[in-house]
Amino acid sequence: MKTYAAGSALFGTGLLMIALSSGLPMVLLGSAMTGFGAALVSGTMIPWLYDSLGDGNRVKDVLSRVKALSGPVRFAGGLSAGYLASLAPNLPVLAAGLLSIASALTAYLLLPDNYGTLKKSYVEVLKEGLHELRHNRAVHFLLAASFLLSFSARAFFTFWMILLSGRGLPETYMGLLFALMVLSTSGGALIAKKISPTPRALAALTALWGLEILLLGLVEGLAPSILLLFVIEITLGARFPVMAVVRNRFISSEARSTVNSAMSTISSGFMAAANIFVGALASSFGLETAYETAGILALASAISLLLLLEFDQE
């Protein structure tokens, strides 16, 4: 919990520096602080929740509720940020920094800490995490799935506006469409409450998402494309809680935060490579080809997740 609070506070402080500074060096320093803060948060929040609740189904239900609430909250946040930006460009960043620091204080004051049964030194925790990362074959399959899925994510999130614009959607409607897509993720989160958090369910949701991405490259016409976008967002909303639980089930409690942080860092490297690959593919062969390839790679990701059944003991 203290690690999460420190990360959230560091992230918020970095945003405040960006919002209040007038020179590039301070902006760069603030950006570096947000990166360090995000790294601390990414490996601690869900492992802390998983260990505190001790039940994968309960974790999935909590994350589903959070995801369901995040749609309306993000929608309202987008409207508020747009209004603040109309007053001054730095106000949305300033508000986000203050909210992040408030999140850190809330966690520190209200959430119980979780050390397991034994407090260990940083070096001991790091060694255990690196050992798990090297020898846990289930983690290797999860990383492979993440690597393949990163291409699909980059294709979808980078180019969907350009794809729809090419199919006839006026630019003035892009903002409204994005806000509605954010809301639709809440529907997926509600669906996730009915899904058992198993590798088979995760693989099925991943395959479904890959098929939807593939169809986005194959279909023609604006209306089917917009419909697919909403279906994709709903699938993402359903997949996130299931993925979070399955991922942590295959990592021991002592190494859970270390391994999650390491996997997040490695996945970021995959994302960087995916940006280059997807951009080059779209530039050379068109957006449709990029989406078709991304969908096929997501289907391959689902196969990698099915291999987790070999290690599933629940």
Q: What share of the chain has pLDDT > 70, as a percent?
A: 98
Contact at 8 Å (CB) between 128 and 251? no
Q: What is the pLDDT of residues 99-110, one digit of tens each?
A: 999 999 999 999
pLDDT of residue 116: 57
Segment 66-92 mean pLDDT:
86
Torsion from C-alpha of 173, 94, 103, 7, nearest 10 degrees: 100
Task: Give the integer Cα–Cα distance in Å for 99 and 171.
Answer: 31
For residue 296, which of 212, 178, 201 has the smallest C-alpha distance?
A: 212
- Given a cut of 60, is residue 314 above it in pLDDT? no
pLDDT band at 78 (very low <50, low <70, confident <90, very high): confident
- Of 58-62, 124-128, 142-146, 303-307, least confident by mean pLDDT is 124-128
pLDDT of residue 256: 82
Look up residue 219 and give its two tokens: 């279909």
- Given a cut of 90, is residue 251 above it in pLDDT? no
Top pLDDT among 44 and 84 is at 84
For residue 182, which of 82, 77, 79, 72 has the smallest C-alpha distance?
A: 72
Q: What angle do CA 147, 152, 154 make, to 5 degrees?
A: 90
DSSP alpha helix (H) spans, the chain: 2-20, 24-42, 45-53, 56-87, 91-110, 122-135, 137-166, 174-192, 199-218, 222-249, 256-285, 287-306
Record the pTM.
0.82
pLDDT band at 238 (very low <50, low <70, confident <90, very high): very high
Segment 22-36 mean pLDDT:
90
pLDDT band at 42 (very low <50, low <70, confident <90, very high): confident
Look up residue 177 and give its two tokens: 């469409």
Look up residue 300 and give its two tokens: 């391959």
Q: Mean pLDDT of all residues in the chain?
A: 87
pLDDT band at 22 (very low <50, low <70, confident <90, very high): confident
Top pLDDT among 157 and 228 is at 228
